[in-house]
Structure 1
């Protein structure tokens, strides 16, 4: 017990010595009668109380400070021999590199930073240090000893303070002429409210570098930033099998400076393989060069406009000109040949922030199985909101092997059909929408023994905060197949389903997205632009079936009636519905209404290349009811009183729990089940696992299962022996 006390007090002492101090002066009983002002006034007092508590501890053990500090072992004599499962650059230049490996209960980090001062790292659900779990590390210039401090950010001030309990264990640390390297570990869940629980959700990993020589102090950092990451990722890649790759990429496509959103499609001929191979992984190939003075240049730290890419398998008709298309440059998305609609089966789906993936070792996606010609379509979405002229040659590298896996796998697209009928009102903190893969579809397309779901890529845009893939059987919801409660559109990596999930005929898939639109002044419509929204799941499963896509959207008539609109000039509701069912193509509009397929948005000053009906919303002129007459539907939508909670709640419930038009598409572009209008399924929801109380039996670093090699164990014994010796002296001195 004395040992734990000394360790804790020593860590607090060090952290307190490093933290910048701020003096607060208050007289008793001088709080404002205003409760909100009381809260503001109490905050400095709370900080003062923390500082006083730390000071008392420091004064009590001041005579032991030299002994406690000297107990930190000489880290230059040891460096772990861990195999780091994951590695990420936290900044663009690679000045801060984080490596890590985890067990079932703990995680070990290696932090490499270009600094000879302190380096800080933090974990939070937000992109700032308020309330964050913070670790500060440095190597003492005088003796080469490394130290780590467990701290946290204040909820109301951008400051770090010492944790009451130190839950981070130093493994090793050293520095050279340019870098500081520190290794440390902790429990995934320390059961300490001042520490972040590391789980399956995306974490905002914060970092900061102190100026050179900032040992024992915490002056303002000279560099800082954040990076969204998932820390509990499986390691899945082929180790010993023969592996080839096929690069599917565009060639010198010019993105105009006035195109804010652009979709480009290109047909590719697969490698000529005489027998079936398996696709086992893929990686992005990002090659975007800004054009300056008419010439493309390589410019460091320039963000690529590539937003996401999907590679589709084509169910080609031998009578069509597939080979000719494969030799061409491709086509602007809305203008692509109608025959390309046969390219509907996703093979690889990549989005911003992903490094690609390798499939689990028991599954592979067939390639060249017919021992003949196969064609694929690459669809690239460019988000060029910065309005730069760019020369792009991006694409996807497909990894494949002749060593066949046990199962043929496939990707299934599910969620909300991409169209302007997907509406998110402005000024909403948590607004939910859903897309349904109906039991009629799965009953028609799934085998009797069902399928096994392996992994899921959840995809939406910038206002999404949560996405979950729900599984309903009969009238009961089963545990979520995949779930992200801290979604960040900057980081979209596939999520392996632990143990897999059995999915049977007649089961229902529900993709649910939760959005935060508090920063938006006008409604957000569904579409491909980053300023619009999506709600999709790309599901990897086996055995392969004919099903390629399973979506839903609000029926057109019900959609407009929800907003009080019954009739438009020039177009019947049925005609409007037909336009949306043809992906929002405006070709069916009257000539007077068809001014451009790529409509210029006067507010953004740029053309949107594929708006999925957004332009139509601006053209539809309301006829009935009289109170909205002669307004465009978009104007009507913008003018609604969105600040009224009763209105937005009613609309949310209507779209969520109301009628859904379902779509069930096969790989050959035929219908797996007829288009249907169904009611939202009635089922009993599962209890959110986050609400279950947990029992915690530890409060500090004791008992962290080691993931280091024998050398690490030996060093820990030496370290603990030194601590025990010093502790004995402290106890005797008392």
Structure 2
């Protein structure tokens, strides 16, 4: 102890004597450069110390003879793996896992004879990640597993002092390395990732051949977004399938966004059946030089929704539509507006869904409806020509479940009135399902919510579905705090949630727009944004959709605009309420805007009013006169926090226009303009460190009495002290 103190004090005096004093008139740039260089030196020294510590811990592992190091060719866990995922997409790196209430067990199979690495992070890199590295010793066939982490400032693996991964088995053959290991969901170790309900970025890496614990730089690596704590709900009974898919639709190379809709007739069934799940069918074939190539992994399919259509006595017309190829979204027949009840919603990254065992969605004329509409959104920013036959495979069974279920769409109405300013770290928007809507459409005993699919686009980071009863917020029905647009799976609501008549649903999205220079508008394009939740519930009711958006007058006034040339606010509102329909405008204005819209459509597709924003010319106030509204938005000083905070507060807590749609496309409640509901927010229940019950076990020290190791630790302390002095001076 005295030796440590003596060395540390000596280091301080040595540092103080050896470091050059800053001159009285040193230029600021020179000071900054000197500090930067000193910090870089300190970081490099710190990396060297950490690397030495990692080697020391690896060597400890090699010297150990505990039970968790053995010739594991003769032993495997024998577990039934609940989940399996190809992390690299082709099967060279396969992860299998199963979890209990407190722990999770992994099996990692990789095409390598070096080390295999697995990491957990909220970002797609190693910095700050929780890492585990495993290998099989070429000399004796013994498996090893090492608990590591990634420093905040570099992409490397550093061994934890506390080792929280338990080896189960491991072996290698001529081509592959396989290891099984276990850890607690929450190890109570600050260097370990807490595995919970949120999406996690799973990192993987393969070391070069023979890299048994040396941890040289990996030769292959990647990441994949997953939720590890997923229930297994695949039915055990035989299922029938119905493929709802397009037939060789040509996606042109001049449209970045395309919506295509097609009507399908339900299978002929003699009795009521239940839909119990669905899977995507992605079948996109690029066309090059007029030649159709084989399927590839770059399909432009962005998301698909299958809707029920309300019954219509004119079956002949619907039969004709079901035999046709379909229509471009904005040009579909007006009767298709009755197809509003979603029954399956798929987005990028999803493998499909199976419903919980107690619910099913009725199918067929005898128990459901006769016609369905498939809506496919293509995100074709690369402007490729593609032949597409994608769709959804619906799984159904005659073995009926206990309850008829339905899917409810809720959130922010999709339109250009949904604006996210640029350069914002956390900007929130909300969509409200009003108590008037639920009071008019739900049964007296309410409904039971069983799962939720949360959906937004590329800059969303968090989504939650809030539950308000009267003036009290109840626990969130569902939430995602690490949203990844490339991984969208529905989330089971543990134990279900009773939702009563008169209750309110609030879908809240939080966006990170720091990478954007201009405002992002709401719309169907992948470059625009959404904020939606698809709620699976029972018993089935007439309610199909429940949304809100900012009223038009209040929206434009929030951005300081009072009047446009040629259009009243009422006319502008009618355009947005009709999804961008430009009919019944003044003739010259309609002609001009239709012409510009047709030019825009070649690239934008169905933009839900984005084109209109570019053509509205401001008349009042005078300081913005003769600017288009889009130009005005782009020129606002978005770097001013007071401005963006006030806009967020006004649009979030201000007035909302609410919509309540029934399955037959009639209104479940009148369109209303109402203020944001007043309620007592639920206090967050943050888990404290005292809740940790798992006691981590440190490796037995082999440095006791070893002078070199002790000096290494003291050197680390000395370097840290010197770095602090450098920075302070």
TM-score by length of 2: 0.89
The residue aligned with 2:710 is: none
The residue aligned with 1:83 is: 80
- How far did 1:40 drift? 7.6
The residue aligned with 1:213 is: 210
**Partner of residue 164 from structure 2, selected from 144, 163, 167:** 167
Q: How does 1:124-203 map to 2 (within 5 A)?
A: 124-203=121-200
The residue aligned with 2:541 is: 545
Q: 2:312 and 2:295 mapped to 1: Cα distance?
A: 43
The residue aligned with 1:274 is: 270
Q: 1:463 and 1:648 mapped to 2: Cα distance?
A: 17
2:308 and 2:369 in contact (8 A); partners too = no
The residue aligned with 1:319 is: 314
Q: 1:96 and 1:461 mapped to 2: Cα distance?
A: 28
Shift of the 51–675 alpha-carbon distance from structure 1 to 2, 3 Å rule, reads: same
The residue aligned with 1:594 is: 594
Query: Structure 1, residues 241-299: CA drift from partner, whole Å, max 9, x if none?
Result: 23101000000011111111000000000001121110000000000111111122115
Q: 1:517 and 1:56 mapped to 2: Cα distance?
A: 40
The residue aligned with 1:330 is: 326
- How far did 1:70 drift? 9.9
Gaps of 5+ in 2: 1-12, 23-30, 707-729
The residue aligned with 1:120 is: 117
The residue aligned with 1:16 is: none
Q: 1:509 and 1:31 mapped to 2: Cα distance?
A: 64
Q: Secondary structure at the match of 1:595?
A: helix
Q: Does 1:436 align with 2:423?
A: no
- How far did 1:690 drift? 3.7
Query: Structure 1, residues 165-219: CA drift from partner, whole Å, max 9, x if none?
Result: 0001111111111111111110000000000000000000001111122223122
Q: 1:445 and 1:161 mapped to 2: Cα distance?
A: 57
1:132 and 1:152 in contact (8 A); partners too = yes
The residue aligned with 1:519 is: 515
Q: Does 1:686 align with 2:682?
A: yes
Q: Secondary structure at the match of 1:656?
A: helix
The residue aligned with 1:385 is: 381
Q: Secondary structure at the match of 2:322?
A: helix
Q: Does 1:304 align with 2:299?
A: yes
- How far did 1:39 drift? 8.3
1:598 and 1:610 in contact (8 A); partners too = no
Shift of the 58–291 alpha-carbon distance from structure 1 to 2, 3 Å rule, reads: closer
Q: 1:535 and 1:265 mapped to 2: Cα distance?
A: 22
Query: Structure 1, residues 308-337: CA drift from partner, whole Å, max 9, x if none?
Result: 100000003112610000000000000000
- How far did 1:38 drift? 5.7
Shift of the 79–638 alpha-carbon distance from structure 1 to 2, 3 Å rule, reads: same
Q: 2:491 and 2:41 mapped to 1: Cα distance?
A: 43
- How far did 1:689 drift? 3.0
1:258 and 1:387 in contact (8 A); partners too = yes
**Partner of residue 658 from structure 1, selected from 648, 654, 657:** 654
- How far did 1:464 drift? 0.0
Q: Does 1:95 align with 2:92?
A: yes
Q: 1:701 and 1:311 mapped to 2: Cα distance?
A: 52
The residue aligned with 1:410 is: 406
Query: Structure 1, residues 700-727: CA drift from partner, whole Å, max 9, x if none?
Result: 269xxxxxxxxxxxxxxxxxxxx99x9x
Q: Does 1:355 align with 2:351?
A: yes
Shift of the 654–109 alpha-carbon distance from structure 1 to 2, 3 Å rule, reads: same
The residue aligned with 2:721 is: none
The residue aligned with 1:8 is: none
Q: How does 1:416-427 map to 2 (within 5 A)?
A: 416-427=412-423
TM-score by length of 1: 0.88
Q: 1:101 and 1:571 mapped to 2: Cα distance?
A: 60
- The 10-residue stretch of structure 1 (41-50 or 192-201) with the greater mean CA deviation from structure 2: 41-50
2:188 and 2:689 in contact (8 A); partners too = no
Shift of the 700–440 alpha-carbon distance from structure 1 to 2, 3 Å rule, reads: same
Shift of the 523–56 alpha-carbon distance from structure 1 to 2, 3 Å rule, reads: closer
Query: Structure 1, residues 14-54: CA drift from partner, whole Å, max 9, x if none?
Result: xxxxxxxxxxxx98354998799768845754774686588
Q: 2:325 and 2:42 mapped to 1: Cα distance?
A: 67
Q: Secondary structure at the match of 2:340?
A: strand
The residue aligned with 1:716 is: none
Q: 1:643 and 1:654 mapped to 2: Cα distance?
A: 18
2:50 and 2:158 in contact (8 A); partners too = no
**Partner of residue 674 from structure 1, selected from 641, 647, 670:** 670
- The 10-residue stretch of structure 1 (314-323 or 168-177) with the greater mean CA deviation from structure 2: 314-323
**Partner of residue 477 from structure 1, selected from 468, 473, 480:** 473
1:31 and 1:38 in contact (8 A); partners too = no
Q: 2:447 and 2:488 mapped to 1: Cα distance?
A: 24
Q: How does 1:427-506 map to 2 (within 5 A)?
A: 427-506=423-502
Shift of the 373–409 alpha-carbon distance from structure 1 to 2, 3 Å rule, reads: closer
Q: 2:56 and 2:102 mapped to 1: Cα distance?
A: 36
1:169 and 1:701 in contact (8 A); partners too = no
Total equivalences in the alignment: 676
1:168 and 1:701 in contact (8 A); partners too = no
Q: 1:499 and 1:59 mapped to 2: Cα distance?
A: 47
1:599 and 1:608 in contact (8 A); partners too = no
The residue aligned with 1:11 is: none
The residue aligned with 2:15 is: 28
Shift of the 434–693 alpha-carbon distance from structure 1 to 2, 3 Å rule, reads: farther
**Partner of residue 374 from structure 1, selected from 367, 370, 374:** 370
The residue aligned with 2:719 is: none
Shift of the 251–50 alpha-carbon distance from structure 1 to 2, 3 Å rule, reads: closer
1:101 and 1:109 in contact (8 A); partners too = yes
Q: 1:123 and 1:384 mapped to 2: Cα distance?
A: 32
2:68 and 2:168 in contact (8 A); partners too = no
- How far did 1:67 drift? 4.9
Q: 1:395 and 1:27 mapped to 2: Cα distance?
A: 72
The residue aligned with 1:620 is: 616
**Partner of residue 401 from structure 1, selected from 397, 418, 424:** 397
1:475 and 1:683 in contact (8 A); partners too = yes
**Partner of residue 339 from structure 2, selected from 340, 343, 347:** 343
Shift of the 58–206 alpha-carbon distance from structure 1 to 2, 3 Å rule, reads: closer
- How far did 1:686 drift? 1.1
